[in-house]
Structure 1
Amino acid sequence: MRKPSSSWIYAPLLVGLLGVGIGCGDADLDSPIVDEEPMPLARAQQGIKGGQFHTEKGPSLGFAINTGRGVSICSGTLIAPNLILTARHCVAEVSSEYVICGESGFGATYRPSNLYISTSPKLFDGDAQFVYAEKVYVPFDGDDMCGYDIALIQLRENMPAERATPAEPRLDIPVARGEVYTAIGYGHSGVGINDSGIRRVLEGSEVKCDGAECVGFTSSVTETEWYGDRGTCQGDSGGGAFDSEGRVLGALSRGAQGCASSVYSGVTGWADWIRVRAVHAAKAGEYDAPEWADSDGDGVHNGIDNCPDVANPEQLDSDEDGVGDACDDDLDGDGVSNEEDNCPFVSNPDQLDTLGKGVGDACDDDGDGIANSVDNCPAVANPDQKDTDGDGFGDACDSDIDEDGVPNGEDNCPYIANPEQDNVCEDESFWGCSATADAPPLTWLFHGLGLMAWLGFGRLKRRRED
């Protein structure tokens, strides 16, 4: 039998199968862990030995899994109305009965319809109510039993608030050595005691190391995991570990022989993956994504949102500095803050302003003192910004000033809309508005005769005066 650097065991309970005899003790990280014989991946539940019966409504729940060979029991944590955090080995087949990091891997994921989930403190109580899974998510970029033992279950329907309250996963703050946590799970309370399926809580456990910090003590804790001082006999597979504020730190993965320690799949190492799934679950459940997943509610999860606290679904980033325009205090990246920058959208560290009007030369192409971004004729100087038809194009560069569909050069009334080119300004046509081609043929004749008569009357009057 091969002897690995350290041996570990997963622990979902197969109802009716033989329990595994184990004893509990504390691991001392002041000295390296001694290699031991590998322990079989027995279908036996290492329950919360010494834990107290837990009836308080909260995020913890248990579920039964129809594996095709029997029924297993695992635990999980509700982190959103329809999303559960658990261990991957609770929802997927395993490749061997030994957990050897780098060699042991996961097999196919069980069908969601094989999972039966309940928030009842006693899973086998006649009053227990079950809900059903819609989807099961596991990491897509690896299947090693060490480092990838995490999963999310999306429910068919949102969990009623009167039955459970979600816990926030502590995604941005890694666990710290010496930090105290609380474990909750549905395992049996000791070797030979057939009382699994009852939720218990155990307080006062302590974090020994996190990820890379564990190098030198054990080679079987990856960068996405952390190491606890109490063994799997005192926790439950997939069950949550909670900090002093009730935030979930991880899902129980495995433990060494002799019940000397616990390894949890930490949520910080999977923060972006959890956030993505949480945003999708919120859309499926038709509720607003939790703040820890999408703080600003713009549909872009915090892990990739370039303005996580300011809604900006378009994610515009003009200077491509990784900070969205909606929250960037230097939009053009020229080292001058937006409030002081005379060209906030165009980089101009020299702030040159020839006209002295508060608009930098770099963003005033036509030199009229109006920034290009707001100039209605950015290529033609028009300091008055006159816009007769209110179409956003200044008269100085508007090819159809009255917006009647007739270009200025062809329009018989360029400042008054007349798409039919009728003589809409006939009363003042003499002063510049021309008659149209559709006007009566004698129109100009009458105008001419009238003028001649007026001039003739004037001459006759002068002669009489003479």
Structure 2
Amino acid sequence: MSFWSPRVALILALGLAATACSSALEELPDDTGEARDAIQDGYLDDGDRAVVGIYNDEIGAICTGSLIAPNVVLTARHCVSDMANERDGQITCRSTKFTDTHLARRIFVTTDAEIGRSSRYYGGSEIVLLPGTEADSFCGNDQAILILDELIPESEAVPLVPRVDVPLKRGEEYYAIGFGATNDLSTGAGLRRRRDNLFIDCVADGCPASVVKPTEWVGDTGICEGDSGGPSLDLMHRVIGVTSRGAEGCEYPIYGYVYGWAEWIKEATLHAADLGGYTAPRWATGFPTDPIYSAELGGACEQPEQCSTNACLDGYCTRPCTEIATCPSGYSCNDELGFCAKLPEPPPEDGGEG
């Protein structure tokens, strides 16, 4: 099976050679694509603003990324690095390597639904690469983090949560978002699109070892050129994959496995929070990513189904808890039940004379 080259795909996505670019704002085309359905067979997406468009001014190329903290964008390494040893534009796991990393200050991201001249851009300040002696091998290592030079306000885009604490299973449903083309001819790149009702084909060691590494997984279909670096998300809207490569015809998409590089993602996010001067997201310090652990509690109920958590205790809605996922004020974690329980009301003060 042959796979399209991300680098060739990126440059073709805007129809620009790498040397044709001098400025992200000067060289972006007026018309970045037709309003056609895609990712492939998807739909235009104005709402998922934390899925950001990336313009790399150094090579004149577009990618996609996930805003996972106010100044942190998770994307594919081939969006920020050169590559060597491609064969006729194809990725070969035995030999394709990453080489020079691009300048962070020449990479720009936007939360707008279109990568164009009028879009609002945020610049990069630092690129964080995967650790290890084999990190320059393409397959299994196609993830990178771009730290921005300013914070994106939550009023503009609420950061996504990466699923760093729960492994994937074959057959799980997911959806994918990207700014890529609608076909192999690079038609329609530059507009954010989403495709739903996709299913995981295989995960890590359950995939063919010749083309998929333990830190990758294989999805359904519909990922095209320019979607590189974009997220796949589970039905709880957590990022589970980073688009890496795929076969011709926008088939057989291979994703970088977020869970497989969980510790690196958390460490890089903590570093970015220090740089940005804000409190790191709770998932970066071990808090569960399942939104049930952050659900509101205390509402009146008679049956579990009346609660968003499907948990009704003594007439009020509650949620599960752990040593890390603690309960709010007025509640304590009932170790036997594993749920937050209301603390008893303090006895009234004795107003009588002693």
- Taking structure 1 as the reference length, the TM-score comes to 0.54
The aligned amino acid for 1:7 is: S
Residues 161, 183 of structure 1: alpha-carbon distance in 2 compared, 3 angstrom cutoff: same
The aligned amino acid for 1:106 is: F
Residues 193, 252 of structure 1: alpha-carbon distance in 2 compared, 3 angstrom cutoff: closer
Residues 76, 308 of structure 1: alpha-carbon distance in 2 compared, 3 angstrom cutoff: farther
Q: Superposed, which structure 2 residues align to 1:137-286 within 5 Å?
A: 137-141=128-132, 142-192=135-185, 194-215=187-208, 219-233=210-224, 236-286=227-277
Q: Superposed, which structure 2 residues align to 1:429-440 within 5 Å?
A: none
Alpha-carbon distance, 1:189 to partner: 2.0
Q: Is the counterpart of residue 309 in structure 1 residue 308 in structure 2?
A: no
8 Å CA contact 2:184, 2:250 repeated in 1: no
Alpha-carbon distance, 1:233 to partner: 2.5
Runs (4 or more) in structure 1 with deviation over 4 Å come to: none
Alpha-carbon distance, 1:111 to partner: 0.5
The match for 1:346 is none
Residues 193, 266 of structure 1: alpha-carbon distance in 2 compared, 3 angstrom cutoff: closer
Cα distance in 1, alignment partners of residues 286 and 205 from structure 2: 29
Cα distance in 1, alignment partners of residues 238 and 120 from structure 2: 25
Q: Over alpha carbons, which structure has the higher Rg?
A: 1
What secondary structure, in the 3-state scheme, does the structure 1 residue paired with 2:63 have? strand
* Superposition CA RMSD, Å: 2.3
Specify which structure has the bigger relative contact order, considering alpha-carbon pairs within 8 angstroms and separated by 6 or more residues: 2
Of Structure 1 and Structure 2, the greater strand share is in 2
The match for 2:283 is 292
Alpha-carbon distance, 1:9 to partner: 2.2
Cα distance in 1, alignment partners of residues 99 and 226 from structure 2: 24
What secondary structure, in the 3-state scheme, does the structure 1 residue paired with 2:224 have? helix
Cα distance in 2, alignment partners of residues 235 and 183 from structure 1: 13
The match for 1:357 is none
Cα distance in 1, alignment partners of residues 103 and 233 from structure 2: 29
The aligned amino acid for 2:207 is: C
Cα distance in 2, alignment partners of residues 308 and 8 from structure 1: 45
- In the alignment of these two chains, the number of paired residues is 264
The match for 2:124 is 133
The match for 1:372 is none
The share of aligned pairs that are identical, in percent, is 35
8 Å CA contact 1:76, 1:238 repeated in 2: yes
Alpha-carbon distance, 1:193 to partner: 6.2
8 Å CA contact 2:67, 2:159 repeated in 1: yes
Pick which of 246-255 and 157-166 moved more: 157-166
Counterpart pick for 2:63 among 74, 80, 88? 74
Gaps of 5+ in 1: 1-5, 19-46, 297-306, 312-466
Alpha-carbon distance, 1:66 to partner: 2.1
8 Å CA contact 1:250, 1:264 repeated in 2: yes
The match for 2:296 is none
What secondary structure, in the 3-state scheme, does the structure 2 residue paired with 1:293 have? helix
The match for 2:28 is none
